[in-house]
Homo-oligomer: A and B are copies of this chain.
């Protein structure tokens, strides 16, 4: 009899076999550790040919230019990323679908097109893009972390995939997600756990953890994630990457597989993770310029707007050092200080942020995500007989005897959400009373996560305090790398007195030796639909930090 375990084993075997034999490395992790590496990016750098190394360390922007200019072929680029992704997966367990042949065939077609027409098909001509396993591609499974979805035929292509392909993108892998995509780590009965590419003792983060791990190892340099409570920003942060959480309605979600599809109070959004900010811009601009509002009714017809004028302005920022509930670890504080100092050095103003409804916003998210008391997860698990994965147990066990709430209660949640968004916007506008020139702030500087990651399968130290609020409020938000943990600088703060049990647990979780060298990202937040502005400001800050 085919049990869920058999199905999962077969799937993992099939993933392994989809890697060409020449790229399979027996006991690769042991070899890596033996060679003294815990950082997968660095280890793979040591394994590749010079050309592969050069290609996989460029940005998508550079690659697309070199391909367009005839310096590189799409095929060579694709080949290098396939090789690198194959190695990364064998260490990190980050891919759930591998289709290199299809990708190389597509790359060849793009090369032929370019040589025949003398022009590219679009801004992403030959750029390999990895896709979180929610993006549908016909003929390829979309399992979103469930054994029960293995082998269910996918017939239609997600609109975003179509748009990226129309611009010339090459797809070659789909990446791992936790069951239901409702966890900040990446673990499922189907695939197991995805590891952190900077330090394999750590979690990749989640739910776009496959993307985070793969991109962190440069098995991809530009990928598509989704974010309902931090799922783009958390893995981006844990791997020291750039990530954009776009506002709902800016990037098309049509035809993307998802949990709780009709749940519209806090919708999941889709956006890019990348090794560079310029690639985040390349992706976002390319997609927005595709006018997808003509096809996806949820996309708002706001064209891409030029924000370069911001470079010549004095800007106003607020900084949230912490939220009053969960103190951030010393390296996170230091990263915030670095950003604030850089910004002030650039003659911009920084005031403090004290939005008093932060805890209400978080509570509302918890209520929203557990409104069906795990019913959908249980139902889909029942398809295969698999147990609920550890990483989403808290959602199912939130109140296990409860049935899904009534629509009346749901409407109250929706109403409270709207009120909180109004309060947020009002608070934002009200910052004008605190700035020197009487204008409201341009952006908020804040942590992404209270720590620089957590150990693999270590769900006890989870606090969504700095990501989920911006899903509830629906802000445009960018995360970017600022520094790495330095055990010699980032000492334990013995003076801080925790304000809650979780806060205490988090405090005690910090060990400078364990966290040493882990990347630290900071988050920049703008109000809804200000994607261009938050990207421009991130670029300004990046330059000031350099």
**A→B interface (CB under 8 Å):** 249, 254, 260-265, 293-298, 300-302, 371-372, 375-376, 403-418, 421-422, 424-426, 429, 473-474, 528-529
Contacts and interface: CB of A to CB of B under 8 A. Distances in A.
A413 B262 contact: yes
Given A372-B408, A403-B406, A407-B404, A254 B422 contact: yes
A410 B262 contact: yes
B407 A474 contact: no
Given A262-B416, A298-B421, A375-B408, 20 more contacts: A249-B300, A254-B422, A261-B411, A261-B418, A262-B410, A262-B415, A293-B529, A294-B425, A294-B429, A295-B425, A296-B425, A297-B418, A297-B422, A297-B425, A300-B302, A302-B302, A372-B408, A372-B411, A405-B406, A406-B407
A411 B474 contact: no
A160 to B, nearest CB: 14
A298 B265 CA distance: 12
A405 B406 CA distance: 6
Nearest to A261: B415
Nearest to A371: B407
Contacts of A474: 297
B408 A406 contact: no
Contacts of A293: 528-529
A426 B261 CA distance: 20
Give the number of times this chain occurs in the complex, counting copies.
2
A266 to B, nearest CB: 11
B411 A262 contact: yes
A415 B409 CA distance: 19
Contacts of A296: 422, 425
Nearest to A415: B262
Nearest to A403: B406
A426 B264 contact: no
A300 B529 contact: yes
A429 B295 contact: yes
Given A300-B529, A406-B406, A264 B414 contact: yes
14 contacts: A262-B410, A263-B411, A263-B414, A294-B425, A297-B474, A301-B529, A372-B406, A372-B407, A372-B408, A372-B411, A376-B408, A404-B408, A405-B406, A407-B407
A400 to B, nearest CB: 16
A321 to B, nearest CB: 25
A376 B249 CA distance: 30
A429 to B, nearest CB: 6
Nearest to A295: B425
A415 to B, nearest CB: 4
A265 B425 CA distance: 23
Contacts of A403: 406
Nearest to A406: B404
Contacts of A406: 372, 403-407
Contacts of A528: 293, 297
Contacts of A262: 265, 410-418
A49 B413 CA distance: 54
Given A297-B528, A375-B408, A406-B403, A264 B265 contact: yes
A471 to B, nearest CB: 13
Contacts of A414: 261-264
Contacts of A425: 294-297
Contact of A300 (B300, B372, B415, B424): B300
A426 B263 contact: no
Nearest to A416: B262
A295 B430 CA distance: 11
